[in-house]
């Protein structure tokens, strides 16, 4: 399924964002979760959108400026900066440029800076770290190719969902199935809440009696 700019597409992305990264990760077989070190600058921020993938050199952000010229409204920049956290490859100026384009957010396996300004600008930004050091603008890079970001393969056009818990990637060709599985999981968990309030234990809900018995814990 290809995400196009439409009311239906925006509804799907909004639903995924509401379901949350943890539910989506579980629903797609515990796959697609980026390294837990990649967290939001603002814990309250959330994002969901198509991935524009960027292969960047550590300590250089030239290709990131180039990627902005290729992005469309609603996209999420997903940058493999090789986990380098000793220079902030993204800051408030790039944030303003991204917001002008209509980019939905940033995920970078690297560092950013100007965190307070980025938070004040309400731009969802997920990174491995923060660094006050600047970057060069000299080295080549590539845009919209398969990359590894936070230990996960990301293809151009894949769906990226991020929130306080972390970031998860949904392959574009599996979006409908993952959406349905995530909604089913959320509904099941709602039933669990009702059962817990009626006094059912988590052991009973999750049918853990046999496992505990085999381990000699009952």
Of the candidate ranges 5-14, 118-127, 130-139, 203-212, the one whose mean pLDDT is the lowest: 5-14
For residue 1, name the pLDDT band (cuts at 50, 70, 90).
very low
Flag whether 42 is in a domain: yes
What HEC string does the chain produce?
A: CCCCCCHHHHHHHHHHHHHCHHHHHHHCCCCCECCCCCEECCCCCCEEEEEEEEECCCCECHHHHHHHCCCCCCEEEEEEEEEEEEEECCCHHHHHHHHHHCCCEEEEEEEECCHHHHHHCCCCEEEEEECCCCCECCCCCEECCCEEECCEEECCCCEEEEECCEEEEECHHHHHHHHHHHHHHHHHHHHHHHHHHCCCCHHHHCCCHHHHHHCCCC
**Which CATH number do you get for residue 105?**
3.50.30.40
- 78 forms beta bridges with 53, 107
**Is the pLDDT score of 192 beyond 50?**
yes
pLDDT digits (tens, 9 = 90+) for 38-49: 999 999 999 999
| 50 in any annotated domain | yes
Instruction: Indicate whether 218 belongs to any domain.
Output: no
| 29 lies in some domain | yes
Residues of the chain with pLDDT > 70, as a percent, come to 98
Residue 5 pLDDT level (bands cut at 50, 70, 90): low
How much is the average pLDDT of 21-35?
A: 97
Q: Judge whether 191 lies within some domain.
A: no
Assigned domain for 210 exists: no
Domain that holds residue 89: 7-179
- Distance between CA 118 and CA 100 in Å, rounded? 14
Number of domains in the chain: 1
Say if residue 3's pLDDT is above 60.
no
In this predicted structure, what is the pLDDT of residue 6? Answer: 75
The answer to the question of residue 212 being in a domain is no
Residue 192 inside a domain? The answer is no
The predicted pLDDT at position 8 comes to 81
Q: What does the pLDDT look like over 167-184, one tens digit per residue?
A: 999 999 999 999 999 999
Compute the mean pLDDT over every residue in the chain, rounded to the nearest whole number.
95
pLDDT digits (tens, 9 = 90+) for 72-91: 999 999 999 999 999 999 99
């Amino acid at each position: 399924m290809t995400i196009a700019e439409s009311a239906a597409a925006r509804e799907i992305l909004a639903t995924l964002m509401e379901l949350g990264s943890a539910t989506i990760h579980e629903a797609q077989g515990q796959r697609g979760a980026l390294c837990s070190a990649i967290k939001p600058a603002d814990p309250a921020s959330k994002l969901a959108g198509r991935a524009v993938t960027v292969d960047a050199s550590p300590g250089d952000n030239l290709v990131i400026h180039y990627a902005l010229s290729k992005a469309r409204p609603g996209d999420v920049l997903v940058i493999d900066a090789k986990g380098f956290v000793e220079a902030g490859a993204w800051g408030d100026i790039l944030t303003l440029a991204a917001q002008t384009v209509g980019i939905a957010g940033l995920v970078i396996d690297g560092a950013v800076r100007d965190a307070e300004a980025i938070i004040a600008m309400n731009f969802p930004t997920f990174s491995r770290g923060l660094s006050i050091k600047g970057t060069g603008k000299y080295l080549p890079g590539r845009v919209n190719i398969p990359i590894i970001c936070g230990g996960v393969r990301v293809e151009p056009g894949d769906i990226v969902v991020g929130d306080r818990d972390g970031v998860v990637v949904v392959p574009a060709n599996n979006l409908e199935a993952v959406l349905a599985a995530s909604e089913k999981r959320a509904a099941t968990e709602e039933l669990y809440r009702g059962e817990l309030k009626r006094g059912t234990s988590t052991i009973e809900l999750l049918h853990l009696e046999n496992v505990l018995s085999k381990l000699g814990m009952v």
